[in-house]
Amino acid sequence: MAKKKVDIVIVGAGLIGSALALWLVKHGNFKVALIERNKPMAIPELRNERVVALGRLATNFLREIGVFQQLGEDRCHAYQRMCVWDENSDGVLDFDADSLNVEASLGAESGAGDTHLGHMVDSLYCNYLSQQAVLENDQIESNFDAQLLSLDLSGERGVLICDQHEFTANLVVAADGAGSWVRQASKIFANHRDYDQRGIVTRIVTERTHENCAWQRFLSTGPLALLPLANNQSSIVWSADNSVADELFALSDLEFARRLKFALQDRLGDVQVLTERRGFPLRSLRVNNYFKRGVVLVGDAAHSIHPLAGQGANLGFKDILCLGGLISNVQSAHDLSSPRLLASYQAVRQADNNQTDALMSALHGAYRNNSPMWMAARGLGMNILNRSKAIRQLLAQHASGI
């Protein structure tokens, strides 16, 4: 068995794990290894359905590691406006970057004018680019197509056995997603909540322009979001109760397009479906401890939330910015697993992640309650909020991650 001694082992080369590896070798002098169970990604199709809405913190992080600049207009589209409305009341929230003077940092590259709320990013392509950058970086010991066999945390350094390799490291970072093997092997307990919904994801093109606006309608069976892309295409995330999702999956593309047009109240005209529909079970996950004896959790391994406000990956980028910042200040590799350092990380990130999860659950619940009093109050509340410039400014700032 080949023995390898490194300072930090990151498990999982998803959006968050690959980005952290690249950031750490840029900002510190550590030996970093990255272990991924799958082979390196092949270049994804141009028209794929997986898109994430990223705010400034995430896109700045990606720019810093040299990935954002490579995305190109076809794979990364700035949006300027957000319009949220409700199936069961006349409530509307409508805010945009221009009128609220959200400063553009990327106007020229964005393809959507000088101001924006954020970017719709092809997440598969972004992940592909960051994996390529990892493979080309000789400071990162990358191990793809690797099978983790055991994790031993009883000694001073963590020992990970993976195929024919034994890694010892001061810090093991779990970036291996919601089903995290590392989290389970470290016996960190996770609380799961099943929303009994699936997020149906596909790419569409609409008859009328999407106006670079993220449209979101709260239906009583779950929210429907349109993420605007180049060439007047949009990616949709239709979160629907499982029984409704079954029904939507059974429809032909033509019937599904009609149903979508109806659900959007014909705001964007006829709809044409461009890619196969994919479904993601919607669950939230929280952990009590973000670290344990030389293991620390980031991204979906630490938290996963309902996608209704498109915050999951954004929170993951906040995690790695926080952890990376703390790590880059340590004097010796020995201090990487210091409980004080990891507790500081937990104190900052757990509060923010839990608050966002609580907010998503509250919104999810608020729009499912269809008692007449509640619906009237909801509509009134949304319209009152919409009339306040200060509130709209706050919403715009939140959406753009300022």
Ligand X SMILES: Cc1cc2nc3c(=O)[nH]c(=O)nc-3n(C[C@H](O)[C@H](O)[C@H](O)COP(=O)(O)OP(=O)(O)OC[C@H]3O[C@@H](n4cnc5c(N)ncnc54)[C@H](O)[C@@H]3O)c2cc1C
Return residues touching ligand X (CB under 6 A).
11-17, 35-38, 52-54, 148, 175-177, 181, 199, 201, 237, 280, 299-300, 307, 310-314, 316
Which helix (H) or strand (E) segment is 250 a member of?
helix 242-250
Nearest residue (beta carbon) to ligand X: 14
Rounded least distance, CB 43 to ligand X, Å: 16
Nearer residue to ligand X within complex by CB, 148 or 268: 148
Rounded least distance, CB 131 to ligand X, Å: 9
Cβ atoms within 10 Å, residue 371: 9
d(CA 99, CA 82): 12
Beta strands 291-292; 295-297: pairing state = antiparallel
Nearer residue to ligand X within complex by CB, 102 or 330: 102
What is the per-residue DSSP string for 123-162?
HHHHHHHHHHHHHH-TTEEEE-S--EEEEE-SSSSEEEEE
C-alpha dist (Å) from residue 66 to 23, 187, 377? 10, 35, 47
Rounded least distance, CB 306 to ligand X, Å: 9
Rounded least distance, CB 69 to ligand X, Å: 20
Rounded least distance, CB 129 to ligand X, Å: 14
Which helix (H) or strand (E) segment is 167 a member of?
strand 165-174
Cβ atoms within 10 Å, residue 269: 11
Rounded least distance, CB 36 to ligand X, Å: 5
C-alpha closest to that of 311 among 212, 195, 399: 399
Nearer residue to ligand X within complex by CB, 23 or 378: 23
Nearer residue to ligand X within complex by CB, 15 or 330: 15
Nearer residue to ligand X within complex by CB, 14 or 294: 14
Nearer residue to ligand X within complex by CB, 54 or 169: 54
Rounded least distance, CB 150 to ligand X, Å: 12
Which bin fits 72, alpha (ψ -120 to 50), beta or left (φ > 0)?
A: left
Nearer residue to ligand X within complex by CB, 289 or 304: 304
Which bin fits 372, alpha (ψ -120 to 50), beta or left (φ > 0)?
A: alpha
Nearer residue to ligand X within complex by CB, 158 or 177: 177
Beta strands 140-143; 148-152: pairing state = unpaired
d(CA 279, CA 285): 18
d(CA 265, CA 27): 49
Rounded least distance, CB 299 to ligand X, Å: 2
DSSP 317: H
